[in-house]
Amino acid sequence: MASQRYGTTDVDISSLAQPLQFHPSGQIAKNRFMKAPMGEGLASWSPTDLQQRGVPTDELVELYRRWGKGQNSWGLIVTGNVETDFRSISAAGDMIVTPECEPIGERFEMFKKIAAAGKADGSLMIAQITHPGRQLQYRYNPVAVSASDVQLDKGNGVEYATPHPATEEEIARLIAGFAHAAAYLEKAGFDGVELHAAHGYLLSQFLSRLTNKRTDAYGPQTMESRLRFVSEVARAIKARVRPGFVVAAKLNSVEFQDGGVTPREARELCQALEALGFDFVELSGGMAGQSGMHWEKESTRRREAFFLEWAETITKALGPDTKLRVYLSGGFRSAEAMVRSLDTVDGVGIGRPATAEPELCRDILHGRVIGARKPMRPLENDLSLGLAVSQAQLAQIGSGKEPFDAGDEAAMEIFQADMTIWQQRVVEDGDKLEFVLPPRYSGPHRHYRR
């Protein structure tokens, strides 16, 4: 039996269709929808040959073509992680650009194809560039660089690398990695980059007092020192890209929660980013072991957005005259909630629903649907299973198929069996790193409607 949809009433969606101009780049998103970044797990992988890791594939090109297709496709399309180091990766199958990668050859040509596919009908293509820092699995690399030596506890059977405080030389190399990736991606045709400073990744490790115990110029003692690493990354990028290239950041509610987000910190952070020339921030939440991406309270379920209260703190502190645009990601399911959120933020980020329905944005703007398809109820609060479903759906879209319906009991029974086999093979693989890509769906396939 197929799933039902979120949303109970018709709503005026005209505000979601409005364009949004960014400053200082001058770029314009054609509507208020962002396809939020999610790890695709579809790039090339080799357990031994580093140069064969992270090359975009035809599946990725097709995936972004689907999202970019149509006059009312996503205003912003943000990619999953584009890593900046071959050995420090968030997940196998992530795309990778390092300083050793020159803007020539197969890797570069495939990045060009992805950018062109996503931009074909006017969407802005934004690459999310990242480094995992201490959030690096031990099996990929036993040693991690971070702001400090705060070890990440083992969780969900994952053992993490041992972190050490980045030296000045390592910090310089990390900054160069981000800057090179941005310049490379600009040459490939991307409209901008989003720095992943959320979800426990390296940039957020410098921002967070939980992980930054430094006492030098990069420590958390002042907002200036707390932001120094991010600021130097941003300046290095700005020095290498054209003025019209979008530079943005993904920020986390967790990193600014020592007893709660203060308006002063929120104001100082975002004002500093605006002064550095950031076009927008994507507000999200959670980190390894503490996602925050579930509906614990009925009030949160009704509001849908997981982090709207934190977003309100940020936007109120910024004031009406700010030029920094604010997107909110996490939890949006109905058009009604998306429209209502625009009283607080400038745009809405959609993640997992966009893997279940690549044309969800277009269908809402055309008035065909009033919300996303509902998965089976347990999936709403099971982030690990939900992400596995999404990655299997991404692979289906990349293969030119329609993603399976996670609200269909029969389809989910097939996928649960797929997951059991997949987990057994992961355990058997151990540290060989030969079977590391996400699970795939083995049930009946249908071609996606064109």
Tens-digit pLDDT profile for residues 90-129:
999 999 999 999 999 999 999 999 999 999 999 999 999 9
Does residue 232 surpass a pLDDT of 80? Answer: yes
Least confident of 166-180, 231-245, 285-299, 363-377: 285-299
pTM for the predicted model, two decimal places: 0.93
What angle (nearest 5°) sits at the alpha carbon of residue 199, between those of residues 197 and 200? 80
pLDDT value of position 209: 84
Task: With respect to residue 431, please indicate whether it lies within any of the assigned structural domains.
Answer: no
Window from 21-35, 179-193, 322-336 with minimum mean pLDDT: 322-336
In a domain, 412, yes or no: no
pLDDT at 303: 44
With cut-offs at 50, 70 and 90, classify the pLDDT of residue 299: very low
What letter represents residue 252's amino acid? Answer: N
Please determine, for residue 291, whether its predicted confidence score (pLDDT) is greater than 70: no
How far, in Å, CA of 20 to CA of 2, rounded? 35
For residue 142, the enclosing domain spans 14-374
| Measured distance CA(353)–CA(360) in Å, rounded | 8
Looking at residue 17, its pLDDT comes to 98
Q: Most distant CA pair in the chain: distance in Å?
A: 59
Asked if the model's pLDDT at residue 288 lies above 50, the reply is no
Q: Is residue 382 part of a domain?
A: no
Domain count, the chain: 1
Residues 366, 207: Cα–Cα separation, whole Å: 41
Is residue 231 in a domain? yes
Tell me whether residue 69 is in a domain: yes
pLDDT of 399: 95
- Determine which of 64-68, 161-165, 333-337 has the lowest per-residue pLDDT on average: 333-337
Share of the chain above pLDDT 90, in %: 76
Contacts of 377 (CB under 8 A, 6+ apart): none
Give the model confidence (pLDDT) of 49-63 as tens digits: 999 999 999 999 999
Per the prediction, the chain carries an average pLDDT of: 90
Report residue 220 as tokens. 């958390």
Residue 236 included in any domain? yes
Nearest to 166 by CA among 135, 150, 145: 145
- Is residue 246 a part of any domain in this protein? yes
pLDDT range class, residue 320, cuts 50, 70, 90: confident
Kindly tell me if the per-residue pLDDT of 394 is higher than 80. yes
**No. of helices (H) and no. of strands (E), the chain:** 15, 13
SS3 percent helix, strand, coil of the chain, rounded to 5, is 35, 15, 45
Q: pLDDT-derived band of residue 256, with 50, 70 and 90 as boundaries? A: low
Identify the pLDDT of residue 293.
Answer: 44
Inform me whether the pLDDT recorded for 254 exceeds 60. Answer: no
The enclosing domain of 97 has a CATH number of 3.20.20.70
pLDDT of 370-390, one tens digit each? 999 999 988 877 888 999 999
In a domain, 23, yes or no: yes
Please give the distance of CA 211 from its chain centroid, rounded to a whole number. Answer: 21
Q: What is the pLDDT of residue 297?
A: 46
Phi, psi torsion values for 447, nearest 5 degrees? -65, 140
d(CA 161, CA 315): 36
